[in-house]
Structure 1
Amino acid sequence: MSAPPLRAEGLGLQLGGRRVLDGVSLTLQPGQWVAVVGPNGAGKSTLLSLLAGLRTPDAGRVWLRGRALGTLSARERAQALAWLSQQGEAEGDIAVHDVVRLGRLPRHGLFGAPDASDEAAVQAALAETETLAFARRRLNELSGGERQRVLLARALAVRAPVLLLDEPTTHLDAPHQRAVLRGLAARARQGAAVMAVLHDLTLALAADRVLVMDQGRIVADGAPADPALRAALAQVFEHAFSIEALTVAGQPRWAVVPAL
């Protein structure tokens, strides 16, 4: 039996005298996209940074495709795992196409020459994020939402089997949020393991699986249709909303309605 794309056991981290992550264990499966939700300060972004190897936990371990994350070279890790930061760098006098092309560096290396397959991956990522129309423009000419889509395109261009995305829909309008979620679902159907931190709970409840975090721990983990998952979600947000069942195109969906 092959190892899961990503697995973590007992992850913990203390920052500034506070335990921001406490005994978190999880396994990401291929073909599944997972939303991570929770109140501010729950540890969501910290968890993703540990899974991506950007921080080192003071407890627990992470395995990427069956290998301890710390034993992989930077290039091996970058080939297997693509990362989108919540506050990614998206400034400067550099063309959009060249930013997205950076996603192919793990494959051909800093001194290697990109080939036709690299360019195909770049073009596909630009098309998927609807950034192809301004691929020759400079980052400093773009709006916040346009820059966010460029950074997402860079992550998608890696074509890694694991995608970790921290707030990928930030600054995006409704049509582009929909495009991002459809893209994540499509990547999962192609066999990738996708994890995304989302603040929009209605969007999160469109995922295959939802992790609910609170005070540095995972307090619920399940499908959106699971009543226990929805009850835990409402509880950690102090019942500030209700979760209503809908039927869209014959499929069950869930909508979050603020309790005003």
Structure 2
Amino acid sequence: MYVFLSKRQCVKAEAVHLDRGQKDEIFVVKWNPIDANKLITVGVEHIKFWTQAGGGFTSSQGTFGKIAKNCDMLCIAFGKTEDITYSGGSDGNMFVWAGTNLQKIVKAHEGPLFAMHSLDKGFVIGGKEGVIGLWDDQFERCLKNYHIKQEKLSPQSRGRLLTDSPAIRAIVMGHGKILVGTRNGEILQVDKAGSITLLTQVCILTLTLLNFCNELVHVRRAILLSPALASFSVPNLNKSFFCTFSFFSFLMDLL
């Protein structure tokens, strides 16, 4: 497998394990931060729970029961214990898992739920309709919504939004600030009062150049480091596998 760094340059990495995740596209691979032997993959009508055993992995499909129907799973976050997991669906629902079993769903967005980040006392999430949601730690109550609009931009912003309500594709929160990455290439900072600062914006030409390899749209969201092991996992470029790489072998190839 090759990890693409630019249009002209490739770096070869040594795959220490390759597993077929499913026949369709995998969007995210995420290691469990509490148990370093476990990870989760999500994708097209897909959520799998993996356990590392010896030189390989075993997996179990998520069990929906009668609670909900399967849909495309787009993002993952972990709870305070190793068996609690949250996944965001293309139907706008938040899926709450205990082990491999679905416990409940919560309607979090009208459109697809693309991004979420777990906090000490809650979650911050974002979706296609350009709304940030701040939720409590049980995913029972939305504490506040932030709408990404031109009228809310602060005077310190470096430019203007390309469109109102851009889809939110990445989100993180720290030190009382929310950082958001949008589909239009904007990086925004949102404070608790709702004021939005546009920090930077990828120009249209750069976005066009980045599209030379559409696979990178998925890889850029899905490279995950193992919390305890010297390895990282990415979806394979044929979309239905994920690979675990030796971090030290990868670094040696870069030197």
TM (norm. structure 1) is 0.31
Return the structure number with greater strand share: 2
TM-score (norm 2): 0.31
